[in-house]
Amino acid sequence: MVTQCADQHRAGVVVFQPARVSRKRAALLDGLTKLQKAIILYFQHADHAEVVVDLGQNSFYALTLFRHYRSWSSLRRAQNANCRASARLCHTLPGVMPSRWSALRWQSNSELLTCGPDCTTLEPIMSQPWSPDSWRALPIQQQPHYPDAAHLLKVEQTLASYPPLVFAGEARELRRQFAEVTQGRAFLLQGGDCAESFMEFSAAKIRDTFKVLLQMAIVMTFAAGCPVVKVGRMAGQFAKPRSANDEIIDGVTLPAYRGDIVNGIGFDEKSRVPDPERLLQAYNQSTATLNLLRAFAQGGFADLHQVHKWNLDFIANSALAEKYSQLAGRIDETLAFMRACGMDSSPQLRETSFFTAHEALLLNYEEAFVRRDSLTNDYYDCSAHMLWIGDRTRQLDGAHVEFLRGVNNPIGVKVGPSMNTDDLIRLIDILNPDNDPGRLNLIARMGANKVGDHLPQLIRAVEREGRKVLWSSDPMHGNTIKASSGYKTRDFAQILGEVKQFFQVHQAEGTYAGGIHIEMTGQNVTECIGGARPITEDGLSDRYHTHCDPRMNADQSLELAFLIAETLKQVRR
């Protein structure tokens, strides 16, 4: 028996009264997903529909179906844009059924209105409201186990009392610049450490990474003829997801190292115990890093002439000098012309905008920095200008998605080869329900041998559904290998190969390849093999300093920038 009811100005509701439905949540989900047909009511202005399952004996389950399901979109396209689909029409369409069911939301009988045979209007059952701590009620992945919960709570309260690291207005400005990238009028450059370290914290290290990012940006800006939005994996990139909870060495099992913000890298029991005090140290280091970055960006260090001189020095000592000298020469001529015209004192030539970002992995840390903006009343996570969700923590019903859906920062999602089109559209709609072009950055991290097989179908799904997102490429995480010497490394040729394919796929699909997201350092490390000054597997041990994943060094990063610049020039002709 199926009863239908609807209101012309509300989402539709379908009440199922199946003969046999288990009262257990898992069995109920299984039963629903096996239905051959589901009647879904769709109205043009409805955000969602409600499905209520009558279990009998005055017991009900309810779940929300959002309109991004493929069946809804198809139904909308099948009708005139100005008309609403009716329950009768939905019923006549064969196989109208969502490919995925959203998580069940229990509604007590007192909250659930009934719908009788006379089709009395049933008020939609709304989804749960967001709050800074609503993530705590949901399943969560990749979290450390702190042995002293009281100590952790005290640290969380202390962090919440501290000043924010960034301000809402800065995050709004980055969101505006992201919108420019999404619409093809700018390019995103995002880079920095795999994981920041307490031990290697120094002004010189911050300066060198910032310097290389500036050098990369000037080359890309000139080649593409558009602004480059600069975002550092800095001032908060401490926590790291791990493939296993434990690490085993010589038969000894200890908790995995999860970044300096959680525990120590030393392989001993004391170092590996998660310590809440490290959250405070991470905050203090982030504060100092941000202070120095702001000084570099606005105090003259970012002067365009100086940055170009650094690039000339790189080219003069590079094996690729002949290849890139022509581009560098054109930049030199342009700067000389501007100087001759008296335009070399402009603040735009001496200062730059620079933003920070990190993976929002430790949600107790992130929650402590949620602030409500006094101008807009929106929530912002003021630990960074941008946050992203990793490929391991993007579960639709998980805590990380729940947390980031409620903060107004621009956000990113790592998209790996395991992502399917239906889940991607659902994720986009949860995180960017207003379809704002500056809100969401999809960071493709496929691997050089998989990007051509997986990325096109995801791009097509996003385009088909009319979603506005910023696409960027992470050519690092899908190309990690283990060298014969035992070191974890990445081949520069594979990194470059994924970047090239990323641009090629977007060009073939008629979409915009909007950015690059890399793990790099300004130091002369030997962690990734290859490059114009090739690092061999035997040479990895010379200066292998990373606490987690291998990073490109300064020369490799600049070489990649020149290669991307050539591609951008061709794409933007």
- CATH code where residue 369 lies: 3.20.20.70
Verify that 201 and 105 share a domain, yes or no: no
Pair (73, 168) in one structural domain = no
**Is 385 in the same domain as 521?**
yes
Place of tokens 């050089």: 448
The two tokens of residue 482 are: 């283990």
pLDDT, residue 345, reads 59
Instruction: Kindly state whether residue 321 falls inside one of the protein's structural domains.
Output: no
Phi, psi of 475 (to 5 degrees): -90, 10
Q: Are residues 72 and 142 in the same domain?
A: no
Q: Tell me which amino acid residue 346 is.
A: S
Helices 203-224, 277-298: inter-axial angle, 10-degree rounding:
50
Q: Is 477 annotated as a binding residue?
A: yes
Considering the domain architecture, whether residues 449 and 531 belong to the same structural domain is answered as yes
Residues 449-508: tens digit of each pLDDT: 999 999 999 999 999 999 999 999 999 999 999 998 889 999 999 999 999 999 999 999
In a domain, 499, yes or no: yes
- pLDDT the model gives residue 340: 75
Q: Which residues of the chain have pLDDT under 50?
A: 1-127
- Give the pLDDT of residue 349: 63
- 105 and 154 in a common domain: no
- Do 43 and 145 belong to one domain? no
Record the tokens describing residue 276, joined without a space.
Answer: 């809440």
Distance CA 408, CA 432 (A): 10
| Residue 263 domain-assigned (yes or no) | yes
Q: CA 230 to CA 236: how far, in whole Å? A: 16
373 domain residue, yes or no:
yes
Tell me the three-class secondary structure of 245-291, residue by residue: CEEEECCEEEECCCCCCCCCCCCCHHHHCCCCHHHHHHHHHHHHHHH
pLDDT reported for residue 570: 83
Residue 107 and residue 157 in one domain? no
Does 491 carry a binding-site annotation? Answer: no
Q: Are residues 411 and 477 in the same domain?
A: yes
> Structural domain of residue 447, as residue ranges?
134-302+351-571
Q: Give residue 16's pLDDT.
A: 42
Q: What is the pLDDT of residue 350?
A: 64
Known binding residue 445? Answer is yes
**Residue 355 and residue 449 in one domain:** yes
Q: Does residue 311 fall inside a structural domain?
A: no
What pLDDT does 343 receive?
Answer: 62
Cα–Cα distance, 571 to 573 (Å, whole number) = 6
155 φ, ψ to 5°?
-65, -40
User: What pLDDT is recorded for position 484?
Assistant: 87
CB 128 within 8 A of CB 102: no
- The pLDDT of residue 129: 86
Helix residue ranges, H only, 79-202? 87-92, 149-161, 168-182
Distance separating alpha carbons of residues 229 and 180, to the nearest angstrom: 9
Instruction: Please indicate, yes or no, whether residues 48 and 163 belong to a single structural domain of this protein.
Output: no
AA letter at 288: A
CA distance 488 to 531: 17
- 107 and 245: one domain? no
- Count: domains in the chain: 2
Q: Rounded distance, CA 402 to CA 133, Å?
A: 9
Is 536 inside a domain boundary?
yes
pLDDT of residue 503: 97
- Domain contains 102: yes
Domain end marker among 42, 77, 111:
111
115 is in an annotated binding site: no
Give Cα 497 distance to the centre of its chain.
Answer: 22
The type of residue at 417 is P
Counted residue by residue, the chain has a size of 573
Rounded alpha-carbon distances, angstroms, from residue 85 to 64, 122, 125, 356: 18, 18, 20, 45
Residue 429 in marked binding region? no
Distance CA 342, CA 425 (A): 50
Residue 76: its pLDDT value, please?
Answer: 30
Q: How many CB atoms lie within 10 A of CB 258?
A: 24
User: What's the first-to-final CA gap in the chain, in angstroms?
Assistant: 61
